[in-house]
């Protein structure tokens, strides 16, 4: 008789414990209340229940499990997707929570937008240069391909470079993009190691058709370019006409220059005769066309005698004794 009562007592206890409400359930209350938002912004790759709903639950362990519950993948950065509350209910059930233990309020669907912050290609290139240049003994770095903008989740952003690989002609480095102390993305940058040389460049923007004067080209150091022959002396460019337009700092190449006559046959020209510190000027008539630096025949308009002089500008020549 005692044994029978004991078995009945144990069975009743088990039945009561099975039907008991969740721990922390207030008398007559609902253990979980989920209020869904009409829209939500997410930054990570996974949509959590806490991203799309306000969670009220007295059981701290259950509340945390609901908070981090995976509701699905986030859309691509800058795009949207919709999550239905019906699907969210199925996910909540996967925790062993029954429908009667949850009160759902809010819209039937939640619009999700994947928000982001951008890391510019210039910022990535700067991080690569800062990692490589301390090990660079000569030359300058140029990207093989300009790095593109990278989109990552919002948060505290840090760029960290791994140990670079460097040869005499090339370099590569992996840049880690950290967001909130976690690696969000990585990108490999490949760069060329380019030597520098002195060459003539445009000292200001120059348009096609410009006849170069001594104020137009400037000598400076620029990266070398295999197969390109740079001009080193301003005398190689003066008096020549540009066949293309050049931005300030662009190299002036011999292939971009045309020889044009600065003196035309039959033109009246100014000839300066120099001997030491003495200079005398006279007027002459050009007997032939002449380009910058070329020596041509000139006829003195008074004596009608011919002599030779060197072209130094537009209708200007010089004769040195």
User: How far is 131 from 142, CA to CA, in rounded Å?
Assistant: 14
What does CATH list as the number for 22-114? 2.60.480.10
User: Phi then psi for 254, rounded to 5 degrees?
Assistant: -65, -30
pLDDT digits (tens, 9 = 90+) for 23-73: 444 334 468 999 999 999 999 899 999 999 999 999 999 999 999 999 999
| Residue 37, both tokens | 């938002």
- Ranges of H-type helices in 31-133: 49-52, 60-67, 85-93, 121-132
3-state secondary structure of 15: helix
- Cβ neighbours around 57 below 10 Å, total: 23
Residue 30's pLDDT is what? 62
Answer yes or no: are the C-beta atoms of 235 and 252 closer than 8 Å: no
Residue 5's pLDDT is what? 42
Regions of the chain with pLDDT less than 50: 1-29
Q: Is 126 left (phi over 0), alpha (psi -120 to 50) or beta?
A: alpha
Residues 6+ positions from 53 with CB-CB distance below 8 Å = 34, 35, 36, 37, 88, 106, 110
Answer yes or no: are the C-beta atoms of 213 and 234 closer than 8 Å: no
Residues 6+ positions from 74 with CB-CB distance below 8 Å = 42, 44, 45, 46, 47, 81, 112, 114
Q: What is the CA radius of gyration of the chain?
A: 41
- For 268-320, CATH number out of 3.30.465.10, 2.30.30.760, 1.10.10.10, 2.120.10.30 equals 2.30.30.760
* In the chain, where the domains are located: 22-114, 118-194, 196-259, 268-320
User: How far is 85 from 92, CA to CA, in rounded Å?
Assistant: 10
Answer yes or no: are the C-beta atoms of 166 and 134 closer than 8 Å: no
The CA-based angle 259-260-266, given to 5 degrees, is 140
- For 196-259, CATH number out of 3.40.50.300, 3.90.1210.10, 3.30.830.10, 3.30.70.660 equals 3.90.1210.10
pTM for this entry = 0.55
- Sort 28 into a burial class: Cβ within 10 Å, 0-12 / 13-18 / 19+: exposed
- Cβ neighbours around 188 below 10 Å, total: 11
pLDDT digits (tens, 9 = 90+) for 76-90: 998 999 999 999 999
**Run of H or E including 17:** helix 2-19
């Amino acid at each position: 008789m005692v044994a029978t009562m004991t078995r009945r007592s144990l069975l009743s206890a088990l039945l009561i414990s099975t039907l008991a409400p969740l721990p922390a359930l207030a008398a007559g209350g609902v253990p979980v209340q989920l209020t869904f938002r009409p829209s939500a912004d997410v930054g990570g790759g996974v949509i959590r229940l806490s991203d799309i709903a306000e969670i009220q639950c007295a059981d701290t362990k259950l509340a945390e499990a609901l908070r981090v519950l995976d509701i699905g993948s986030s859309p691509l950065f800058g795009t949207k997707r919709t999550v239905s509350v019906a699907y969210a209910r199925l996910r909540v059930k996967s925790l062993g929570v029954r429908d009667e233990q949850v009160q759902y309020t809010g819209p039937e669907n939640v619009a999700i937008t994947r928000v982001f912050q951008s890391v510019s290609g210039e910022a990535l290139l700067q991080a690569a240069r800062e990692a490589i240049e301390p090990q660079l003994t000569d030359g300058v770095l140029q990207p093989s391909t300009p790095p593109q903008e990278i989109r990552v989740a919002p948060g505290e952003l840090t760029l960290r470079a791994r140990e670079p690989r460097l040869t005499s002609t090339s370099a590569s480095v992996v840049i880690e993009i950290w967001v909130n102390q976690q690696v969000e993305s990585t990108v490999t940058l490949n760069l060329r190691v380019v030597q520098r040389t002195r060459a003539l460049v445009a000292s200001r923007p120059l348009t096609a058709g410009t006849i170069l004067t001594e104020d137009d080209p400037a000598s400076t150091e620029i990266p070398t370019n295999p197969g390109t022959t740079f001009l080193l002396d301003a005398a190689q460019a003066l008096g020549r006409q540009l066949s293309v337009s050049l931005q300030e700092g662009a190299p002036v190449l011999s292939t971009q220059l045309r020889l044009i006559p600065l003196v035309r046959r039959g033109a009246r020209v100014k000839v300066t005769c120099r001997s030491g510190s003495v200079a005398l000027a006279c007027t002459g008539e050009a007997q032939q066309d002449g380009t910058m630096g070329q020596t041509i025949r000139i006829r003195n308009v008074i004596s009608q005698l011919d002599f030779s002089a060197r072209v130094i500008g537009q209708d200007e020549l010089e004769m040195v004794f």
